[in-house]
Amino acid sequence: MGLCAQRNTVIAALPQDAIVLFLDDDFLLGDGSVSAVRKLFDDRPDVAVATGRVLADGIGGPGLTHDEGLSILNQAPPAAGVMTDTYNAYGCNMAIRVATASENDLWFDTDLPFYGWLEDVDMSRKLAAHGAVVKIDGLYGVHLGTKKGRSRGVPLGYSQIANPLYLVKRGTMSRRKAYRLMGRNILANVARTPRPEAWIDRFGRLRGNILAFVDLLRGRMSPTRIRDL
């Protein structure tokens, strides 16, 4: 079980010359995206990871319906062939060169269990030592941000603290990025717990934040602790 373990199973099963495109099950992929990914990795042997344009992302709100996502997708401007360097791929649409990962023994970290929050940052930064991490507009789509099947409030709140600090320790996230990310999430959970959004367990997330800090003070904080929560 767990996103990282499942993605590792996929990578291990593929031939060395494969490119794997990971998509969330609530990501609607735009026409021509797969061809754009193939062309990129054929033309640029130095690229290790690629991610694309997210035309709309429902993760920060109540989520988008399938029909809303299709409507946005159908109105998408054509790709202009733009490519830029990026810090990390967004896990909802993330293409990886299998050879780069397997030859350097790089895998998704299974110590980020279940939903594997920030696994995309960790893997991108590990692969960045062996190739370019880029964003291309030819790969594009809509992330619906469907709320069913997502992590419960307490484990996710714990991961909001434990996972960034874990990545800092591993050297795949800077302290500045980690502190900014943690601060934003803590402030949102504190501010919105009295009047939470209907689609977010703010109290659960805040409780998870607190449990993580308690574990930090006790010297036992670890991303794997969410298995026990």
Identity at 129, one-letter amino acid code: A
Residues 130 and 46 grouped into a single domain: yes
Give the 3-state secondary structure of residue 29. strand
| pLDDT for residue 151 is more than 80 | no
**Considering the domain boundaries, does residue 148 fall inside one?**
no
The CATH number of residue 47's host domain is: 3.90.550.10
The range of the structural domain enclosing residue 189 comes to 153-228
Residues 97 and 187 grouped into a single domain: no
Q: How far does Cα 20 stand from its chain's mean position?
A: 15
Alpha-carbon distance of 134 to 86, in angstroms, equals 5
pLDDT in tens, 61-84: 999 999 999 999 999 999 999 999
Tokens representing residue 122 in the block: 């960790």
CB-count burial class (<10 Å; 0-12, 13-18, 19+) for 212: buried
**Considering the domain boundaries, does residue 31 fall inside one?**
yes
What pLDDT shows up at residue 115?
86
Helix (H) or strand (E) holding 15: none
- Total domains in the chain come to 2
How do beta strands 83-85 and 132-143 pair?
antiparallel
Residues 9 and 101 grouped into a single domain: yes
| pLDDT for residue 197 is more than 90 | yes
pLDDT in tens, 29-41: 999 999 999 999 9
pTM of the model: 0.93
226, 114 Cβ separation under 8 angstroms: yes
| pLDDT for residue 187 is more than 90 | yes
- Among residues 191, 153, 154, 161, which one has the least CA distance to residue 178? 161
**Considering the domain boundaries, does residue 26 fall inside one?**
yes
**Residues 26-42 as b or e (16 or more Cβ within 10 Å = b):** bbbbbeebeebbeebbe
Confidence of residue 147 (pLDDT cuts 50, 70, 90): confident
Confidence of residue 60 (pLDDT cuts 50, 70, 90): confident
Residues 208 and 134 grouped into a single domain: no
Residues 28 and 60 grouped into a single domain: yes
Q: Long-range contacts of range 215-223, CB-CB < 8 Å, 24 or more positions apart? A: 215/162, 216/161, 216/165, 221/161, 221/162, 221/165, 222/111, 222/162, 222/166, 223/111, 223/112, 223/113, 223/159, 223/162, 223/163, 223/166
What pLDDT shows up at residue 86?
97
Residue with tokens 């026990």: 228
**Considering the domain boundaries, does residue 12 fall inside one?**
yes
Residues 62 and 161 grouped into a single domain: no
Residue with tokens 């990871």: 49
Share of the chain above pLDDT 90, in %: 94
Residues in the chain: 229
Q: Which residues pair with 132 in a beta bridge?
A: 47
